[in-house]
Amino acid sequence: MPQIVTANRLIDGEVVFRAADGSWVRSVDDAGVLADKASAAVAEAEAQKDVAGAVVVDLAVIDVKLEDGRVVPVRLRERIRAFGPTVKSDHRADLKPFAADA
């Protein structure tokens, strides 16, 4: 199964993905897709240098599938990390803030 490397950028906590060139990108579609366990192990070892250098934290190699040209994490947790929250930010936009919030 294809895999990618993901982490959180230390400076701001953003979810990031390791691109094929070793840089960290915010879009899962720009992640370097690793075809086998051997290439995933090499990418993970290289990414550990960024953990040691305090660039990223919470490094993980995750399973993905390719759907319609897009990279889609297999596990729900990772899909949420890649694609954002599970609630709409404009949900109940008709509600006014509480008086204490105004």
pLDDT in single tens digits along all 102 residues of the chain: 999 999 999 999 999 999 999 999 999 999 999 999 999 999 999 999 999 999 999 999 999 999 998 999 999 999 999 988 776 665 555 555 555 544
Within a domain: 35: yes
Give the pLDDT score at 61.
Answer: 98
Domain-located, residue 42: yes
Is 26 inside any structural domain?
yes
- In a domain? residue 88: no
Query: Does residue 89 lie in a domain region?
Result: no
Please give the backbone phi and psi of residue 64, each rounded to the nearest 5 degrees, phi first. Answer: -135, 165
**Contact in structure between 7 and 24 (CB atoms under 8 Å):** yes
Residue 96 lies in a domain: no
Q: Look at residue 1 in the predicted model and tell me its pLDDT.
A: 93
User: Does residue 95 lie within any of the structural domains?
Assistant: no
Q: Which helix (H) or strand (E) holds 83?
A: helix 76-83
CA angle 50, 21, 18 (to 5 degrees): 50
**Is 23 within a domain?**
yes
Q: Report pLDDT for 102.
A: 45
pLDDT of residue 85: 76
Four-residue CA torsion sign, 49, 50, 52, 56? negative
pLDDT (0 to 100) of residue 101:
46
pLDDT at 54: 97
How big is the chain by its Cα radius of gyration, in Å? 17
List the structure tokens of 47. Answer: 């990414």
Q: How far is CA 56 from CA 26, 52, 97, in A?
A: 12, 8, 36
Domain containing 62: what range?
Answer: 3-83
Beta bridge partners of 72: 65
Domain count along the chain:
1
